[in-house]
Chains A and B, each alone.
Chain A
Amino acid sequence: MIKLLRCELLKMRHKYIFLTLLAITAAGLVFSLYGDYSGEFIQKNGWCMMLYQLPLANGIFFPIACLVISSRLADTEHKASSYKQLFTLEKRGRIYDAKLMTGLSMTLLSVLIYWSVLLVFGKIIRFYGEPPMELYLRYLACTAAATAVLYILQHGISMLFKNQAVSFFTGAIGTFIGVFSMFLPQLPLLRQLIPWGFYGALQFMGLYGWTSEERYANAYLKIMSVDPAVYVIIAVYIILFYALGKYLFCRKET
């Protein structure tokens, strides 16, 4: 396995894949953090307010990161038509796993970078008080879990279909529906069932009492309950996507 991971690194030379990932993360950060932080309510509740607002941006940028990275990594093989060579040298399942590990760890690293920048940013902008670390760790875990599901799914699609348009359109349409689902609170099943909706489904910070006339006058933030079924669904999806993708990849004829 170490050998295969080393090969993945060799293949990534001159491909700027990690740089692409950092660029997407940076764009995500700009999109997430750009705004007006002057209001009293926001200054006071800054840390929690971020937790309320971020899932939307996460639901756009991390799916894109999963899509781009998995597709770039798999396309390297498709372009090289290297499967017919690699399959005679190494177990197919291992090839699948090595690539998954490479891409997934890079993507999760970018989640961690994103999260760390959030904390630093909050300090710089001087939100009131210390960041509620427990909530922030929970947020990190939720974002990482949602991203992992998507990466495993996108990895499977990118590896199985030579034409990367398949992977691209799945990702793009999924992301669109996922973002859409966050604006439809009356339809919780949508975001609980489609993998792109998990960023919304796992959101635990709610804003109440906000109206367009009074704005933040009577507003308050409160922790919402998350349907425990969501955790089960995520775990099932992770196992399902991984097992199915690997099974089909191992049966693939070249």
Chain B
Amino acid sequence: MKETVTTTMLTKEYGGIECVSHLNMNVKEGRIYGFLGPNGAGKSTTLKMLLGLVRPTDGEITIFGKRLTSKNRLEILRSTGSLIESPSYYGHLTARENLKIYQTILGVPEKNIDEVLKIVRLDRQGKKKTSAYSLGMKQRLGLASALLSFPKLLILDEPTNGLDPAGIQEMRDLICSLPKEYGMTVIVSSHILSEIDQMADDIGIIAAGRMKYQGELSRLHEIDRNKSLEEIFLDLTGKDVSL
């Protein structure tokens, strides 16, 4: 199976402290990769490095089989959609006007806007300004921007942040459908295992910047048959280590 994203010895230091340390990550094509870790584990930092938003201190990143350099970065990222931490939105504009900006830069067809708005179910918000949106609606708009070009690779950092239970379920179903429907590869981060375990094919568990486990979710059971997944996860990440 082809690998969409690989990192080798990826490291990021902030002020001499390694927040991401010698990380080897493998994301296979057409799969959903759950990126798990407690607060401050380095999930967002890693994903930002994949997107070129943060410069790695050391290590390499390969996306779509090409080594990421400052030269080919944009070309590679053209086929990548992202939602990192909080969604980006211009509060004084409507959802459609927001997407129009990204659509103009991306140069994708205008009909994509309607399509993604329908996917995230914001198609009936009309002239409402996005500053008046609820947290979950903003999150949906962020997802719509990420989907706009129907990219081959989708990177979502805690996409269920602020969603109601129904919204979480819906987001889960949506993410699950993306590989089949559009052939996307999805990386989705979270700090809750139970949120991921129903959608991810593979997972990577990161704690204190180091990869603790990587592989198929179904294999995680085999670490200790007597424990529940949640317990194994907590054992791996360390329960009471201070940040």
Q: Is the CB of B105 within 8 A of A4?
A: yes
* B77 nearest CB across to chain A (Å): 5
* CB 8 Å contact bits of A216-254 with B (1 = contact, 0 = none): 000000000000000000000000000000000000011
> Of residues 191 to 210 in A, which have CB atoms within 8 Å of B's CB atoms?
none
* CB 8 Å contact bits of B84-122 with A (1 = contact, 0 = none): 111011111100010011101111000000000000000
User: Whose C-beta in chain A lies nearest to the C-beta of B73?
Assistant: A88
> Of residues 113 to 171 in B, which have CB atoms within 8 Å of A's CB atoms?
145
Is B54 engaged at the interface, CB distance under 8 Å to the other chain? yes
Which of A8-16, A118-126, A132-140, A157-165 is the interface stretch? A8-16
With A85-B88, A85-B145, A254-B53 as known contacts, state yes or no: A91 contacts B97, CB within 8 Å: no
In the complex, which residues of chain B have a beta carbon less than 8 angstroms from the beta carbon of A254? 48, 53-54
Is A215 engaged at the interface, CB distance under 8 Å to the other chain? no
User: Whose C-beta in chain B lies nearest to the C-beta of A87?
Assistant: B53
* A130 nearest CB across to chain B (Å): 47
Q: Is the CB of A89 within 8 A of B102?
A: yes
In the complex, which residues of chain B have a beta carbon less than 8 angstroms from the beta carbon of A44? none
Is B4 engaged at the interface, CB distance under 8 Å to the other chain? no
Q: Is the CB of A3 within 8 A of B107?
A: yes
Interface size on B, residues (CB 8 A): 29
How far is A81 from B142 in the complex, measured between Cα atoms in Å?
11
How far is A82 from B99 in the complex, measured between Cα atoms in Å?
12
Interface size on A, residues (CB 8 A): 24
- What are 6 A-B pairs at a CB distance below 8 A? A7-B101, A11-B90, A85-B145, A86-B88, A86-B105, A89-B74
User: Whose C-beta in chain B lies nearest to the C-beta of A81?
Assistant: B88
How far is A253 from B52 in the complex, measured between Cα atoms in Å?
9
Q: Is the CB of A14 within 8 A of B105?
A: no
User: Whose C-beta in chain A lies nearest to the C-beta of B131?
Assistant: A79
In the complex, which residues of chain B have a beta carbon less than 8 angstroms from the beta carbon of A11? 90, 93, 101
> Of residues 1 to 46 in A, which have CB atoms within 8 Å of B's CB atoms?
3-4, 6-7, 10-11, 13-15
Is B55 engaged at the interface, CB distance under 8 Å to the other chain? yes
Is B25 engaged at the interface, CB distance under 8 Å to the other chain? no
Q: Is the CB of A91 within 8 A of B74?
A: yes
Q: Is the CB of A14 within 8 A of B92?
A: yes
Is B80 engaged at the interface, CB distance under 8 Å to the other chain? yes
Is B82 engaged at the interface, CB distance under 8 Å to the other chain? yes
* Residues of chain A having any CB pair with chain B under 8 Å: 3-4, 6-7, 10-11, 13-15, 76, 79-82, 84-91, 253-254
Q: Is the CB of A7 within 8 A of B93?
A: no
* Contacts A14-B93, A84-B88 known; 15 new A-B pairs at CB < 8 A: A7-B105, A10-B97, A10-B104, A15-B92, A76-B90, A81-B86, A82-B90, A84-B51, A86-B88, A86-B105, A89-B74, A90-B105, A253-B48, A253-B54, A254-B54
With A14-B93, A82-B90 as known contacts, state yes or no: A253 contacts B104, CB within 8 Å: no
Q: Is the CB of B93 within 8 A of A85?
A: no
Q: Is the CB of A10 within 8 A of B101?
A: yes
How far is A80 from B97 in the complex, measured between Cα atoms in Å?
13
How far is A254 from B91 in the complex, measured between Cα atoms in Å?
20
Q: Is the CB of A85 within 8 A of B102?
A: yes
Q: Pick the most buried of A7, A80, A90: most chain B CB atoms within 10 A of its CB.
A: A80
In the complex, which residues of chain B have a beta carbon less than 8 angstroms from the beta carbon of A4? 105
In the complex, which residues of chain A have a beta carbon less than 8 angstroms from the beta carbon of B89? 80, 82
* B102 nearest CB across to chain A (Å): 7
How far is A3 from B104 in the complex, measured between Cα atoms in Å?
6
Q: Is the CB of A3 within 8 A of B53?
A: no
User: Whose C-beta in chain A lies nearest to the C-beta of B81?
Assistant: A88
In the complex, which residues of chain A have a beta carbon less than 8 angstroms from the beta carbon of B92? 13-15, 76
Q: Is the CB of A89 within 8 A of B105?
A: yes
Q: Enumerate the 9 nearest inter-chain pairs by beta-carbon distance, A residue then B residue, closest first.
A: A85-B88, A82-B88, A80-B90, A88-B77, A254-B53, A89-B105, A7-B101, A14-B92, A253-B54
